[in-house]
Every structure is written in structure tokens, then in C-alpha cells.
Structure 1
């Protein structure tokens, strides 16, 4: 009897050990939310039972730009690589976020203007996917330092002289109205990020810490963040860093990147 008990006990221990080894070797999804200290212009917020990191950028105190490739013309490819490259150049950033959709080779799907130079043309085509869910739009910073989010065709008609621009889609809010194709609270849920402009001196970046529908995300910008125009950047690969480590997201691929730095002081 004692031998049977001992044999059963040893089999149970062996089974538990094999289960532990299998669990340790089995692939597990990385955490979507890493954590870390929020950048100076950012705060935690909650809206419709979803938590967000919201960053309100006063362009009178901060500089904001759009970036894609290093000095050799190679796409940074991720926020992590971008942060390290900027630090190596002596240009540390306060925060960085993915800022537009990209092809498999990381080239932008739509317009990209960096330091006043057009790197990719505006895309007015019709196709499948969020980028082409019209109206889509453009986030821009003019050469006088003022910001805007504009519907693509309106931007193309104005031919503004811009310093930075990135095109994405769909628009979330257009002149105070939600995108006409959005459901109240659709079944498609992802961690999402986007940009709104409250006025020409105030840019609002937001990223969810958990999955959210496009409808709820759009209402965040209109109803809670007071942005009459807002643009969707991306979902599933959305990420935010504080220049040193990830706050939300992982080392996901990134095409265009939006980054905030302290205001450059004019030389005297």
C-alpha cells in the first residue's frame, strides 16, 4: 500500500515538473502596457471606462516634429531605436509616439514632411483599410510654429507651407463632428493613438491603455479633450515613450514618428 502511495506521489511530482517546463517554454504575448514615468506634458485620464495617457503640448513652450529616417536615410523603425538615435545626437526627446501608417518596408502610406522637405507625397487614393476610410486627414505644423489637423482634400487645396506633416486616417473629429462612418461603439477594439488640435498653439496626443472602439476614441477628443479636429494614427501597434523607456506599447514597428522636445532658445 505504501509502495503504491509512493509511486503515485512520484508520478504527480513528475507531472507537475513537466507542466512547469512546458509553461515556461510556451510563447506568451508581451505586456501591452509597460509603465514608467509620464513625460512632463502628460497625464493619466479616464473616459467612458477606458484609461488613457493624454499629452497636451503648448507650442509656446515645446517643439513638436515628425520624423521617419536617420541621417543615412534609413527608417528608424521603432520608438526605441528613434529615442536612442536622438540621444546619441544630443537631441533627447520628452516623448515620442507612432504617427501614421506605413507600408511593409516602413515607408509612409501618405504625406510626410520633415524639416520642411516633402519625403512622401499626399495620397488621395481610394482603397481598403483605416487610412482610406474617408475623410482622412493631415496633422501639420506650419513654418510659423502653428499646428492644425485638416481633412486631406482641404489641406491639398490650401497648399500651406509646412515644416512638419503626416497623413493618416480616418479623421476622428471634423469641425466638431464625429466621423460619419463610425458606429456608436463598434466591435473593433484595439489600443489606439491619435492627435487633436485644440487651437493653433495646443496639440493634444492621446493613447489608450486598453482596447477601445473608434467611436469612443473619437468622442474622447471631441467631448473630453475639446479638440474640434482630430486624426487617428494607428491601432494594435500604438506606442508611447518618454524618450528613455516605453510607457504604453512595446518595441513595435513604426513608420512616421511624432516627437516633442523642449523649446529651442533663440541664440543671441
Structure 2
């Protein structure tokens, strides 16, 4: 369980973000939070804003977007990007490694086998939006068996938190550190937490942030070496290596 002082700080931060998230413009404010001596940027999306969440792979020309600048150029002139981050691992052509569903259309199939990379460090999982619950993170093999409907879905791995427990292969004394990003979901499915570390962290530290800091019952790792965030509320627009799938929230520009 989180320490009382930390719980209060995170509760205040989350409460402020939910309050800021509710206008019709679908403008979610990301904010900086701390957990166990590590800093993170956290973007909380409440269920009411689920329809404004989007998942991208290609631009209007059918070619991968690869960066936030191209994504922003692809938006309608009346739309503004509240935040965005890379949303899973990808092949050399920047297409998704595993399941990718955009607006109910499956663009890439689910992959359930193990492999030696992070994606295949089973159990891995699927983030599902707009299904039976507003938000969900589901273990990949369970997802493949149940085939739940999702408006948006992206597969990645490993799972960070599985039914309230950290991934069994995470080591408390690991020396593998990267800037990492991922998504966690509240137990009731009413809130999705998108987070990225400010500095390199271990899998164990990142998983504990979701489980102990946020109370996520399930959480999914997106990536490490290519983790990127666009969040104007914290004056952040990361650049560098190109990305594959990207997830973000879109609102309307002020009149």
C-alpha cells in the first residue's frame, strides 16, 4: 500500500487532473508526480473522455506517422492534441508487433507466443478502450480466448501489474534501467492512467508506481528505449527515435 503522505499527494494530483479533464473540449491536463524517489508525468483519462481517446499508426497518406509533429499535422484544423505517447512495440516498418484495433477495425492480429524480447516476456497484455468497460488491460491469452470488443486496442508487453501483483520476472535489484512508459487501469475500469518516467527506472520500480502509487489492478508496459511524450500542460514534446503506434487524447481548439 502507498505511504499515507504519498497517497495524499497522488490523490490531490489525480483529483486535480480529473477536474481539469471534464470540460467538453476533452482537454486532459498531465502533471508531474513522485513515487519512491522517482518522478513521472501522469495523464489521467476518466471514462467520460474515452470517446476522445485515439490510436494512430498511419497518416492520411497511408504511411506511418512516426512522430508527434506529423500526428499534429494530420489533425483537423479544429482539433488540438491534449497529450500523446507511443503505444506499443513495432516492426522495422513502424507497424505494430501485436494486436492493433483502431475504431473497431483490426489492423494487426494478436500474438500469444513467448519470445526473448520484452514484448514476449509473458504474461503480456492488451489495452482495450471502449469495450464492455470504458478501459481495460487484459492478459493476451485471455483476450485471445474471450475476443472482447474494443473500439481501440493495442498489445504490448510485459504486463506490469497482473490482478494486483507485479510481473513475476521483475527483480527488485535489477540494474536494467530505461525511461519507460505504459498504461494502468483502475479496478472499476473508469480511469486510464498513462505514465512515463522522467529518468531511467527498473521494471520493478515502474510496476510499483502503478500498483502502489496509483492502485492499478492491471497495468501494461508500452516501451523503454523509444518512450516519448507530448504533453503541452507540462511543456513537453519529446523527439528522437521514430515511433510506431501512438495513443493520445484529442479535443477541440478554443473558438
| Alignment TM-score, normalising by the size of structure 2 | 0.82
What residue ranges of structure 2 are gaps of 5+ in the alignment? 1-26
CA RMSD of aligned residues (A): 2.0
Tell me by how many angstroms 1:201 deviates: 1.7
2:78 matches 1:83: no
Report if the CA contact (8 A) 2:91-2:97 is conserved: yes
User: How far apart are 1:71 and its partner, in Å?
Assistant: 2.2
Q: Does 1:55 align with 2:43?
A: yes
Aligned counterpart, 1:175:
163
Written as runs of structure 1 = structure 2, the 5 A alignment for 1:66-215 is: 66-86=55-75, 88-143=76-131, 146-198=134-186, 199-215=188-204
Contact 2:46 2:191 in 1 (8 A): yes
CA distance in 1, matches of 2:49, 2:136: 17
Deviation string 1:30-78 (CA, Å, 9 cap, x unpaired) is: xxxxxxxxx7431111112111001111121452121111123211011
Could you tell me how far apart the structure 2 residues matched to 1:255 and 1:203 are?
A: 21
Structure of higher CA gyration radius: 1
Unaligned ranges ≥5, structure 1: 1-38, 264-268
- How many equivalent residue pairs? 224
